[in-house]
Structure 1
Amino acid sequence: MSVTPQDPKDLRPPTDPRRRVLLTGATGGIGSLLSERLDADYELVLHGHTAPSGETAERFHLADLTDEAAVAALMDGVDTVIHMAGASAPTSSWEDVLAANIIGLRNVLEGARTRGVRRIVYASSNHLMGMYDKLGEWPVYPTTLPRADSLYGVSKAFGEALGRFYHDTYGLDFIALRIGWSTDDPDDRDIDLLHAMWLSEDDTEQVVRCAIEADVTFGLYYAISDNPNRRWDVTNTMLELGYRPKDRYPEHPGEHEDPDQPTPPDWPNNS
């Protein structure tokens, strides 16, 4: 019996159009993608350092993450925060990650707590576990102990721990997505490790939608497409969030990827 393939759009979880969703870092790479793709289904409030042309003051807000009062003011009437803002380079300095990723995240969580926000969807990172990648010690599971490859990765470990504290102590939903290599062109870099952790634009949208709508109230989840030779377990992402990755690098398994290729010696600087 033949089976009609399911349209990827049918894999999206049902959305509640009444949800008011704050997207921090809306002008970044992933933030820009999400601001375009989620706009039809949610009442989006956009945040960034500089406002893109055409956005109104009702939708776009400027706020320094280290300004606790300014961050809290973003939360009025918000159901869910998708927290994408912060220092995002593995080469980020201590001063950068301290301000944006540690103090900034604390202000986001505290503002959410005091303003009655239901859920935080947190942009964690593969670099939280990147030393396993550097040493080739795979597979890596969500339950594996953190082993950061950079101060940036350390800041993401802190973020997950702080999110757990706010969940356990205050009941705030906290969904951490350990985002892989998100790009629209995976052929831009000829590094097999990056190809293995590629997260396509469509899968980025899908996993964030799942994180907004899933019934689970806390979890740590890898967000990676269905790539051959993937070294990071997405089982709980699929079972608990309902994520079904539909893209893979390459389309034909193993065509370009060598599972025995060593990690680049300057990892994570080139990631």
Structure 2
Amino acid sequence: MSTRRILITGSTGGVGSVLTQRLTHEYAITGHDLTAQPDADPVVLGADLADYDAVRGLMDGIDTVVHLAGAASPEASWEAVLDANIIGTRNVLEAARDAGVRRVVYASSNHVMGMYDRYEQWPVYPDTPPRPDSFYGVSKAFGETLCRFYHDEYGLSVIALRIGWVAGDPTTKDADVLHAMWLSEADAARIVRRAIETDVDFGIYYAISDNPNRRWSMTNSLLELGYRPQDSWADEAPADEPVVEGGVPVADDWPAGS
């Protein structure tokens, strides 16, 4: 089978850099950032996501788009998420459709459901009604709905991943809710790989490591995608760190500072 050509939008960001490094030996990767980096390896193309023609220029010959780019903070303003996450996501989906791209892997977020976390109303399932905790979460909920539309209306295959907290060292934060949603760098590559390769045409899936204190269902991630997380917060935790049944209370201002 020929090597899939993968476009990673936002490839120079935190998660994008991890995926580029870990997947580059399996796929022919093209990176993307706001500014082109022609000397990078792999090459990084430049495009403003709010500029449709620029986004369309990224797509020729691409098999799968892993769409990570956009405003990534739960404290981002409405103006920031409007251009980067709402208009930008529409442009990526439309350009992918027009170019005949096989699949888009959409980086959604745990913040789509963040109010359940703020009020400790667990467990949360992929089909639980969205309840965003920020304009960022709202933009990701919009993105999931737009992905559903592009699949239903145009037949574009889209796998949306509700990504948890990606960090190389989860002990840098002491918030239990972050530990519960930790996604190791290796597991991030594992679930994106499964999202690229699965026979499923559409779905919304939680992307979290095998943490014993997690509150978000990954049943469909395991059964439909074949995702098998290998890492766990418990393996990184201090020896005296307990796993509290039902979860530790979350700060009333969640997700501030997350």
Q: What TM-score, normalized to structure 2?
A: 0.95
Contact 1:17–1:42, Cα closer than 8 Å, also in 2: no
How many residues align structurally? 255
Q: 2:244 aligns with which of 252, 258, 269?
A: 258
Cα distance change on mapping 1:60 and 1:188 into 2, 3 Å = same
Q: Cα RMSD (Å) of the superposition?
A: 1.6
Report matched runs for 1:174-213 at 5 Å: 174-213=158-197
Match 2:103 to one of 119, 122, 129: 119
- Which residue is equivalent to 1:9? none
Change (3 A) 1:255 1:173: farther
State the Cα deviation string for residues 229-271 of structure 1 (Å, max 9, x = none).
2100001001111100111111289952434421022210121
Residue deviations 1:61-81 (CA, integer Å, cap 9, x gap): 110000000000100001100
Q: Contact 2:183–2:207 (CA<8 Å) still a contact in 1? A: yes
Unaligned runs of 5+ in 2: none
> Equivalent residues in 2 for 1:60-139 (5 A)?
60-139=44-123
Secondary structure in 1 matching 2:233: coil
The answer to whether the 8 A contact 1:146-1:157 is kept is yes
The residue type paired with residue 139 of structure 2 is S
Distance of 1:36 and 1:217 partners within structure 2:
26
**CA–CA separation in structure 1 for the residues paired with 2:38 and 2:91:** 27
Code of the aligned partner of 1:258: V
Instruction: Determine which of 149, 163, 173 is the counterpart of 2:157.
Output: 173
Q: CA deviation at 1:152?
A: 0.3
Equivalence for 1:8:
none
* Structure 1 residue 45: Cα displacement: 1.1
Q: Aligned partners of 2:224, 2:128: CA distance in 1, in Å?
A: 18
Normalised by the length of structure 1, the TM-score is: 0.90
Give the 3 Å change call, closer, same or farther, for CA 235–52 of structure 1 in structure 2.
same
The answer to whether the Cα contact below 8 Å between 2:171 and 2:236 also exists between their aligned partners in 1 is no
More displaced stretch, 260-269 vs 199-208? 260-269
User: What residue identity is the alignment partner of 2:124?
Assistant: V
Question: Partners of 2:236 and 2:80 in 1: how far apart?
Answer: 40
Q: Secondary structure at the match of 1:245?
A: coil
Indicate the SS of the match to 1:142: coil
State the AA in 1 paired with 2:15.
I
Point out where structure 1 has 5 or more consecutive residues left out of the alignment: 1-15
- Whether contact under 8 Å (2:37, 2:46) holds in the other structure is no
Which of 227, 238, 246 is the equivalent residue of 1:243? Answer: 227
- Distance apart, 1:55 and its partner CA: 1.1
Q: Which runs of 4+ in 1 moved over 2 A?
A: 50-54, 252-255, 257-261
Task: Give me the whole-angstrom Cα distance separating, in 1, the residues matched to 2:90 and 2:46.
Answer: 18
What is the CA distance between 1:17 and its match in structure 2?
Answer: 4.4
